[in-house]
Amino acid sequence: MNTHTKYKHEALASGLVSAASTRWRFVLGLVTNRFCFVVLFIVTALLIAQYDPDSTAVAPPDRQEVVFWHFWGGRDRVVVEDVVRRFNDSQQEHFVRAIAMPGNNLDLKFFLSVAGGDPPDLLNQDDPVLADWAHRGLLMPLDEVADKATAEQIESWLFPPARRLGTYDGRLYGLCNGLDIRALYYDQTLLEEHELEPPETWEALNRINRVVSPPEQETIKQFGFLPDPRRLWAWGIVFGGQFYDETTGTVTADEVPVVGAMDWMRSFSKTYGADRVAAFRSGDQSLTGSASPLLQGRYAVVMDGQWRVREIVAAQDKARSSGNPVRQYGVAPLPSPPGGRENAGWVNGNFFVVPKGSRNPAGALAFMKFWSGFDGHEAEAAVTCAAGGWIPVSPHVVKQPSFERYLRGNPLFAKFVELAGSPNQVPWPVTPGATYFQREITRTCEDAMYRDDAPPSEVMLREAATRIRARLKERVAP
């Protein structure tokens, strides 16, 4: 995923998907009228054509077309188009027609296409919508797209986080094609100047802040580290929590480890002042040039995803070509406190889904296999992941010689790939109402960190969990 799209999605906390439920009811009401049905169909076609000037391309007469919607733009779109070209050249049965739809309303366009009776054959997403869509009957489970034996083989072939991202109600509805992992980037040059160890242990991480940004300083222009309230999801897992028990369908966001994680995150606000922390964090949003606050020198350590490796390498290459000193950077897993989980955190990813009404589910499955690497396509998937800087969804792809060469040349990226196989990398709960769940937890942590008068963490999380339970119960009601 490109950086602009990634930060847009995270900053909005997937709020648009929450609004989609209202849109969906609106669309269903409209299609009771035949005239409105026609209007919806026309609007859908216009929206699609607006976002991709090549959407009128047609398959050769001897091929079965696969209409594929995706959100990639910029340099990532070039990689996607190359995957499509390689797939189309690899066989003579199917022909993928890719339609790029960057923007905020992919969900609405999808609903309109379903209402108009003309959904795509395949769609790629990265928001926590899979359970909502599957619960509404909008998606085909993979054991219907293929067969039960193949679906089971795919499940065992995937990394545990990739399997969890695509599974709802015990069935695989989505096939993950790329993972997003978070870890700690650190300015190695800066830490060495302060004679500090990398943040590979709990003690080292907390010491970095005390040394780089002493709280008694009147003005702090650089923090050692500041937790992001959006990342309670990650730290809650690291502390030993889980937010949601998939086996029982129980919200556990107020359990002791999650409370402990939020207390630790709040300790920064208590040490430096909530207003001071909020003001500094808001300053990250106004950065010019590179979007990375690490490269801007605002932090010694930041939590971020593997896509930042590109920026770091580019900055180092620029310094090198200009004859300037080259700063060194490192990557470390999120360190755990006593009793916490190792190699743990929050994982997200991109996944394919096949809508109900797909005209060519067999072609959609063939393309999914080709991109992800399943069923003998591991070498092709290795090429794709290296080109896009994407984390493979299976260890079988990681072990491909071409990808192993890529990792040797990109040691920072390799650290993220090592984490992909950890069962302690946990996605958002795959349940109807997951978007609300995510947004409510983030808002609760923001209030806790940025309000001096906020109640105790256990009270805030208990109240949030109560609201979430009520909303999830409402979403799964028949």
**C-alpha pair distances (Å), 182 with each of 9, 306, 312, 409, 420:** 15, 7, 15, 20, 10
The pair of structure tokens assigned to 362 is 């067999």
What is the structure's pLDDT at 359? 95
Give the model confidence (pLDDT) of 222-235 as tens digits.
999 999 999 999 99
Q: Which domains occur in the chain, in start order?
A: 3-180+348-417 (3.40.190.10), 181-344+430-476 (3.40.190.10)
What is the structure's pLDDT at 409? 95
Q: Do the beta carbons of residue 391 and residue 179 sit within 8 Å?
A: yes
- The predicted model scores a pTM of 0.87
Q: Which residues contact 116 (CB under 8 A, 6 or more apart)?
A: 37, 40, 41, 44
The pair of structure tokens assigned to 440 is 């409510």
What is the structure's pLDDT at 288? 53
What is the structure's pLDDT at 154? 97
What is the structure's pLDDT at 243? 97
Nearest to 137 by CA among 285, 433, 355: 355
Beta strands in 243-344 (DSSP E): 243-245, 250-252, 301-305, 329-332
What is the structure's pLDDT at 58? 78
What is the structure's pLDDT at 50? 44
d(Cα 5, Cα 24) in Å, to the nearest integer?
24
Low-confidence ranges of the chain (pLDDT < 70): 1-57, 103-104, 286-291, 477-478
Residue 159: burial class (beta carbons within 10 Å; 0-12, 13-18, 19+): buried
